[in-house]
Amino acid sequence: MGSALTNLLAFIAAISILVAVHEYGHYIVGRWTGMKVLRFSIGFGKPLWKRVSGPDQTEYCISAIPLGGYVRFLDSREADIAPEDDGRAFDQRPIPARIAVLLAGPAFNFIFAIAAYWILMSGGVMMLKPAVGSVTPDSFAADAGLVFGDRIVAVGDTETNEWESTLVAILGEMVDDGRVPLTLEDDNGRSRLATIDVGDEKTRLTEPGVLFDGLGFVPWQPPAVIGVLPDDGAASAAGLQVGDHITAIDGQAVATFNDLRAIVSPRPGETVDIVYVRDNAAETISVTLGERDVDGQKHGLLGVALSEESSEYYYRRTYGPVESFRAAAVKTWSSTVFTVQMLSRMVTGDVSMKNISGPINIAQFAGESAQRGMSYFIGFLAVVSISLGVLNLLPVPVLDGGQIVYQLIEAVKGGPMTERAQILGQQVGIFALLLLMSFAFYNDIARILG
């Protein structure tokens, strides 16, 4: 994970962007439907920066506590309405207009996710075909007959051609009845069926970071065997050769090419000791890493590439402008459905509550994604934006979804709910949010300590 300062800055940037998108949805649709906007604030508490502009003299603020934001509309329940503003208060507008304003915040979060995925997909996406890496003896995977190199062609009825959709399908099948039916293909192209049966362990295996260890196998990753060695690279200058198998860098074990990249990337220009195997003999060599600029940040560069036998597991998916937009919309929809399914499974106890993340864990992931480059950070923003949209649609009174329920009740009964009922609803909503936040903070602290 990144440094505390990097995590904090990345977290503030991420939350500010996503809150601005969400609140802008409320703001712009409110204006379109004839409502008067009194304040648009990114953050809570005392304003650090404020500007008053527009015919309605709206206050635009950046406030001290960067954990949310709000749009304040004129409301006759809070203050008397000036004659010239009569009919422009939130509660004076038609119920469909109010619902549209409440829906707009989450809707803009989903639109943002589509835009983010469209940007990422427009440049093409490198995919890793789903295949089985090392299998732990006497594990669920070993009992099912999985072996190293098996390609996962389908999970249940879902065809799979990359790891993200495969992981979603595995989780979906597992939480149903503890069984994961797989269609596998071996190195010779022969297909066979296998079923991983985890039984009563299904909920435990949904805990963060537990799935593959619990199932007993890891996704296939290319070993750190040098396949391509540019003459002007750091590795070539130090004397490494094609076919050398790198096993450690400065005392850190290297099992895959991803391990190699993770160790080398944050160390541009540093001299490291590399342990490698050549002709079945282990040797050590000192290498001064090169560097390259990625999105304005310097990253370490060893100057090696994958061995040829690994290329068959990788492929680049390219999209045209229209196709990339369609793929981004499909990905946003599937991620939204998956998020809803996981939330509902938490309620029924089929998915572990440890998956609820708080600000500490989100900040750590924000910092890590920011350090890895802009594309990773954009992908992180898309995932969190979808989660923010889904959570705000929950029927909790203090959230957009709960306020929509209030409007629907008013439409059915022909008048607003009583003040007593609304206050009770607010209290229930605040209690529910405090309970959720308690789970989130507990999980964050448990991850740090555990």
Q: What confidence tens digit (pLDDT) does each residue in 261-316 have?
A: 889 988 889 999 999 999 989 999 999 998 887 667 788 889 888 765 555 676 77
Please state the φ and ψ torsions of residue 132, each to the nearest 5 degrees: -85, 130
Buried b (16+ CB within 10 A) or exposed e, 241-252: eeebbbbbbeee
- The 10s digit of each residue's pLDDT in 181-228 is 999 998 788 999 999 999 989 888 888 888 889 999 988 877 788 888
Q: What distance lies between CA 427 and its chain's CA centroid?
A: 31
For position 114, what pLDDT does the model report?
A: 97
Give kind and range of the element (H or E) at residue 105.
helix 95-122
| pTM listed for this prediction | 0.79
289 vs 303: CA distance, rounded Å: 8
Largest CA distance in the chain: 89
207 carries an active-site annotation: no
User: Could you tell me which of 214, 216, 244 has the C-alpha nearest to residue 229?
Assistant: 244
Selecting among 23, 159, 309, 312, the annotated active-site residue is: 23
Q: Which two tokens stand for residue 148?
A: 């190293």
Which amino acid is present at 99?
I
Residue reference for tokens 């500490």: 360
Q: Given a cut of 80, is residue 442 above it in pLDDT?
A: no
CB 255 within 8 A of CB 224: yes
Q: Which two tokens stand for residue 444?
A: 């964050």
209 vs 167: CA distance, rounded Å: 12
- Give Cβ neighbours of residue 226 (< 8 Å, ≥ 6 apart): 235, 240, 241, 242, 243, 244, 245, 246, 304, 305, 307
CB 36 within 8 A of CB 403: no
26 vs 36: CA distance, rounded Å: 12
Higher pLDDT among residues 246 and 373, named by residue: 246
User: Could you tell me which of 266, 268, 435 has the C-alpha nearest to residue 347?
Assistant: 435
Cβ–Cβ contacts within 10 Å for residue 152, how many?
A: 25
